[in-house]
Chains A and B, each alone.
Chain A
Amino acid sequence: MTQNSSVPALKVRGLAKQFDRPAVDGLDLEVRAGEFYTLLGPNGAGKTTTLRMVTGLLRPDRGSIKVFGIDVSADPIAAKQVMAWLSDEPMIYDRLTPLEYLYFVAGLWGVDSNAAEIRARDLIAWLGLMPYAQERCEGLSKGTRQKVALAGALVHEPRLIILDEPFTGLDAASARLVKNVLRERVAEGCSVIMTTHILEVAERMADRIGVMADGRLVAEGTLEELQRQAGAGDASLEDTFLALVSTDTARGSIAA
């Protein structure tokens, strides 16, 4: 995996999206190449909406999104080519087998069929899916389905992996496996952006953490930087997060 590390993996400027109320409100965000970035925020903070706009699943009202310098609005196909999206609800087909699903995803991303086969089999083995490789996904457990979806996200070797609550429904062993997979990808130079409600995961895995509230980024940095911003000393991430979010909510209330 080769890349120009001076070009950010993701650069978002003035991003906004409104449904019945503003979901994302002038968001600026930058994720470096080879970085593990975690987005935290209370429910309705705009995390998923942001990531769906980045992956081209939602059209922004305004603002710009660049993935490795590629403008998502101007050239969505090129931007999608280097990205993978994984949501908390596994996007798989019940009546395909995990192996067929991986071949299908590889086909969608235009991966050569021989390379697809090698990668698919490697991923199946790596994620412990071998016993289920030839069985239809309809009979698989939620955790196994999530692993199949993760394999799908990795089969085309993306440079930027975007994950929305990837640990939902996973048991401890599966969660550890997924964490290891993501760490290895980052070690190989891949960038990861992830939302999670499990603060312990963010604390242990993320190079930097962004905290969103009311559609805006209210704090960003390493755990130590966040603690400083929150004035929370050496408090846990949970205390820091709550301090940051409550401060911002209070500010919002005063402004309103």
Chain B
Amino acid sequence: MIRAGTLTWFAQHETRLLWRDWAWLLSGGRRRRGVTVVVGLLVFVAFMHVFAYLTLARAPIAFPPDKALLVTLGGTLLLYWSLMLSQALEAVTRAFYARGDLDLILSSSASAERLFAVRIGAMALSIAGMSLALAAPAINILAWLHGARWLAAYGVVLALAMVAVAISLMLTIALFRTIGPKRTRLVAQIVAAVVGASFVIGVQIVAILTVGTMSRIVLFQSERIIRHAPNPDSLWWLPIDAVMGNGAALAVVLALGAIVFAGAIRFCAPRFGEFALAAGNVAVSRRSASRRALKFRPRSPGQALRGKEWVLLLRDPWLMSQSLMQLLYLLPPFFLLSRSFYGQGHSAALVVPVLIMAAGQLAGGLAWLAISGEDAPDLIASAPVAAHRVWLAKAEAVAAGVGVVFGPLVILFAIVDPMFAVIASIGVAMASAAAAAIQFWFRAQVKRSLFRRRHVSSRIATFAEALSSIAWASAGALATSSLCLAVVPGFMALAILTGAWMLSPKRA
């Protein structure tokens, strides 16, 4: 029997919560789905391994590694780490601001410091777990093809997760101290989105401006980068040596990760409660909407609904990081477009599917918020407005949101290539309409704050939305070379929509 209030007791409690959180995330809270989820996961894992094999089977991997391999592995590792840091920043911010059990913990006689130390550890494990879910197939295939030494990469991922969580904690606390708890939530989310996307996007932009493609690998393999990279015996490559099975390097990387992490826990755990309380005060403090309130003057039910959706979207604190990430990914195509505009490239056609795909994703998110994330469904239902007018107003709000984001890009596109701009705008409209329709068919009333987990409410809707966007993007891509070819993915997109409609829950 574990004694209550000890580190082990808290660890057991946190592990249970973490496990149930993951189980809920995978099953959507439905117990009967257990077998389906396990089968689905096994299929996914097998698919990822096949994909990793096809990607890595012919990769030129030599031992000891040359500079080209070191640069490629280093770039890939940095990319993973930037995503880990982004995830860690979001997790740390949530830990501070989500009330959950904080009131219970802070009001109890148990040592909150111990619990927070365990909670920080759980965050590192969670971040490492998420990163490994992506990296494990590649690591396993590398170990199978080139020797068990590659399994050391698991240790490096763990060390990187510890460093990411440590930096996130220090950064969040620094933000608390400099700009206060009120602004930290928003700024931390923006930083998380920028960090998560910056490396990927930065590399793509450099690749576009120098090589003219959006491929990251091309950039990592460019001679200029390799020439300027440190020599293979440099300490900079220590993490890569560790990934490739150098025991001493792995020990150093793990030790460094553990020291940084332990230091962060030692510094942050005693302060966690203090900052969580400050964050809690923000949640219950009065927030003024000042002058903007005076502009909100609906003259009709439609205007009222549209205006309300836009105001709520603009004020949604968690939507910011989600949408910002999607918008940041539009920067590379924007640069590609600028290059085409100045006559330095001929890759404008590449932009079409990216725009369509991004529009589908954004519209899906906005539609979910407007339809399923309605916080006062009874108020809307009891209003003297026909249901179809309510849905129409919500669809218009979503369409306007998509238009505001993609309109300027399409206009810029029209200057470069009017035909491609027409194709892009049709694709954006179709992908957005399809995503919104799927969200409408699979609507389920939930709290708006569950936006991050919106995919859990219906896996079918999630897959249908993604597949539909991919199909419309493919149709757009093919339409840039031949309109006839675009018919096939266009029909596929319509078939996906029909399938989604047929599988959607029957409405009363």
Contact = CB atoms under 8 A, between A and B. Distances in A.
A binds B: yes
A80 B390 CA distance: 14
Contacts of B379: 85, 91, 105, 108, 152
Contacts of A112: 299
B284 A139 contact: yes
B316 interface: yes
A96 B305 CA distance: 13
B308 interface: yes
A110 to B, nearest CB: 6
B120 to A, nearest CB: 28
A117 B452 CA distance: 36
B300 interface: yes
Interface stretch (A16-24, A129-137, A178-186, A209-217): A129-137
A83 B297 CA distance: 22
Given A100-B311, A139-B284, A139-B286, A107 B382 contact: no
Contacts of B303: 107
Contact of A103 (B297, B378, B382, B386): B297
Contacts of A56: 381-382
Given A96-B311, A138-B287, A78 B384 contact: yes
Contact of A100 (B296, B299, B383, B385): B296
A41 B376 CA distance: 26
Contacts of B298: 103-104, 106-108, 113
Contacts of A116: 297
A136 B375 CA distance: 14
B304 A134 contact: no
B383 A108 contact: yes
Nearest to B376: A91
Interface string A151-187: 0100000000000000000000000000000000000
Contacts of A79: 384
B289 A136 contact: yes
B252 interface: no
A87 B376 CA distance: 11
Nearest to B313: A95
A242 interface: no
Contacts of A77: 384-386
A132 B284 CA distance: 13
A176 B182 CA distance: 35
Interface core residue of B379, B381, B508 (most chain A CB under 10 Å) = B379
A234 interface: no
A107 B311 contact: no
Given A95-B312, A138-B287, A107 B300 contact: yes
Contacts of B107: none
Contacts of A139: 283-287
Interface in A64-97: 76-81, 83-85, 87, 91-97
B380 interface: yes
A93 B386 contact: no
Interface string B366-392: 000000000111111111111000000
B386 to A, nearest CB: 6
A130 to B, nearest CB: 13
Interface core residue of B301, B315, B381, B508 (most chain A CB under 10 Å) = B381
Contact of B382 (A55, A94, A136): A55
B232 interface: no
A135 B284 CA distance: 11
Interface string B303-324: 1110110011001100000000
A152 B382 CA distance: 12
Interface of B: 283-290, 293, 296-301, 303-305, 307-308, 311-312, 315-316, 375-386, 508
Interface of A: 55-57, 59, 76-81, 83-85, 87, 91-97, 99-100, 103-110, 112-113, 116-117, 132, 134-136, 138-140, 152
6 contacts: A57-B381, A87-B378, A95-B311, A107-B299, A108-B380, A136-B286
